[in-house]
Structure 1
Amino acid sequence: MHIFMTNDDGFESPGLIEMAKKLSRLGRVTVIAPNRGRSSCSSSLSLQTYLRMWHKESYGENISVLSCNGTTADCCKLALEHWLRNDMPDLVVSGINNGYNSGTDCLYSGTVAGALEGAVFGIPSIALSAETIKDKDFLDKASTFAFDIVRKYFVQEKYRGTLSLNIPKEGKELSLDNLKVVKLGVQRYENAIREMKDPSGHLGFWLSGKMLPDAAPDTDVFWIHRGYPTLTPLTWNMTDRDALEKVRASIQ
């Protein structure tokens, strides 16, 4: 089995390194990831920009590592259109990301975008996100759980689509029994925009905010904030199928 990995936290991210080590039990792992953090880069491409790649020290046996000065999507395009064109992967794994990618945050996530690039090429894929990757003990638990999910769906069940997994640090035991398979919700924030001034008195803004837990109860946003791991099938196709006929009928 050949697994291609990427992320948006950079090739030195503990989440990527730990996950690559675990996935190397399933076969060969090729990593092409940004040379620095690219959080919230979504599916942006670095057009009219000279892209470079560098070989990096391996994380372990059966793992080859390269970094690129572009975005997550750049890394995926370089891998799937060129670098691995004669050695295409059987699976694309993006992450583990530092922080959730739940609900509408998937629109901004470079980690989710990496998995969706797999979908574009018809390759099974998964985006992995955890509440944090800065706690070593939790990262070991989260990566073990993520490995179990990958093995179950892509090795045992032969799933051919794209999935997004979110893993909480506090809450329920990380097990299949507690896994909530649900749709995306709306992730809202409190104090998302902070107004401030620099030392010279110039007005500026800082985007951050606190994630709000309120959402419809059949969504990932609802359950992830209540301590349950969530899994959501994704697609690149943003067509509103329910509205398609209505819009079409209006021109007839």
Structure 2
Amino acid sequence: MRKMHVLMTNDDGYEAPGIKALASAISEFARITVVAPDRERSSCSGALTLREYISLKEQPSYGANIQVFSCGGMTADCCKIAIEGLLVNDKPDLILSGANRGYNIGTDCLYSGTVAGAMEGCVFGIPSMAVSLERINPEHFLLRACKFTVELVKEIFVKNQYKGTLNLNIPYMEQLTLNKLKLVDLGLHRYKNAIKVITDTDGNQGYWIGGEPEIEIEPKNTDIYWIHRNKVTLTPLGWDMTAYNEQKIIHNIVKNHVDEF
């Protein structure tokens, strides 16, 4: 029987513990090709390295059924090079991006390289999922979260042959079971004190972007609301950013200038 072929990527780099642990867990039932950045690329979103040389080097395997490549580009570069180059004659059945150290919830998804990796699956018509974990250190949590992800992958993508793109966020908890799962929308994630003025070693003024999440009361149907109540969140994603509920409003504003089809 043919083994499922899974392309894996991330934005933390190919040596990150999260991708190693998840690849090892998934490799128990699938063949894995890892194509991940050769260094930390967090918050790279869907950035592409256009019209420049991008390196691709095979690296030591994480274990049986896992082939590993490091890429000199961003996460989206990794996926495009894999799908249309390296694996053009061996297309993956599934793309998994992660496991990321730190949530990718709400509007953070706009900036996330982890989510961008899964979105390449959406663009290419390949089932995909971004996997992100609470930023916490115990190795046993990482292993537990990866085991949970395996169960979810089998249920959604193997058993039920789901064809879409998903965003999964897993908080720390002692018992991870499928009944902890909430199917939710993305929330609005704002940050306070995000910009700081700093100086470099030569005394030149510049800026630092960071900040802390604002604590707001989010609607109950959002990932932000439930992740802070210790629930695993799952959100279907799509490439279409059209604000359909705004179309009538803007049509009424510009209707005298719109070329009607």
TM-score normalised per structure 2:
0.92
1:161-204, Cα deviation, whole Å (9 max, x unpaired): 0000001125x742211111100000111211122233443222
Name the counterpart of 2:89: 86
| Structure 2: 5+ residue stretches without partners | none
Structural mapping, 1:1-252, within 5 Å = 1-132=4-135, 134-170=137-173, 173-214=175-216, 215-248=218-251, 250=255, 251=258
**How many residues end up aligned between the 2 structures?**
251
Contact between 1:14 and 1:133, CA under 8 Å: does it hold in 2?
A: no
Instruction: Give the partner amino acid of 1:43.
Output: G
Contact between 2:182 and 2:226, CA under 8 Å: does it hold in 1?
A: yes
Question: Per the alignment, in what secondary structure is the counterpart of residue 108 of structure 2?
Answer: helix
| Structure 1: 5+ residue stretches without partners | none
Larger radius of gyration: 2
State the alpha-carbon separation in 1 of the partners of residues 44 and 136 from structure 2: 19
Percent of residue pairs bearing the same amino acid type: 51
Residue 248 of structure 1 and its aligned partner are, at CA, apart by 4.5
Q: 1:81 to 1:133 in 2, by over 3 A?
A: farther
Residue 246 of structure 1 and its aligned partner are, at CA, apart by 4.5
Residue 238 of structure 1 and its aligned partner are, at CA, apart by 0.6
Residue 136 of structure 1 and its aligned partner are, at CA, apart by 0.8
Contact between 1:9 and 1:36, CA under 8 Å: does it hold in 2?
A: yes
State the alpha-carbon separation in 1 of the partners of residues 60 and 162 from structure 2: 32
Contact between 2:136 and 2:172, CA under 8 Å: does it hold in 1?
A: no
TM-score normalised per structure 1:
0.95
Instruction: Give the partner amino acid of 2:96.
Output: V
Instruction: Give the partner amino acid of 1:237.
Output: D
State the alpha-carbon separation in 1 of the partners of residues 239 and 137 from structure 2: 30
State the alpha-carbon separation in 2 of the partners of residues 161 and 26 from structure 1: 21
Q: Which moved more, 1:85-94 or 1:194-203?
A: 194-203
Residue 245 of structure 1 and its aligned partner are, at CA, apart by 4.5
State the alpha-carbon separation in 2 of the partners of residues 228 and 141 from structure 1: 15
State the alpha-carbon separation in 2 of the partners of residues 78 and 63 from structure 1: 18
1:113-171, Cα deviation, whole Å (9 max, x unpaired): 0001011111100000011263211111111111111111101111110000001125x
Residue 4 of structure 1 and its aligned partner are, at CA, apart by 0.5
Two-structure CA RMSD over aligned residues (Å): 1.5
Contact between 2:198 and 2:207, CA under 8 Å: does it hold in 1?
A: yes
Contact between 1:181 and 1:230, CA under 8 Å: does it hold in 2?
A: yes
Q: 1:178 to 1:213 in 2, by over 3 A?
A: farther
State the alpha-carbon separation in 1 of the partners of residues 148 and 210 from structure 2: 28
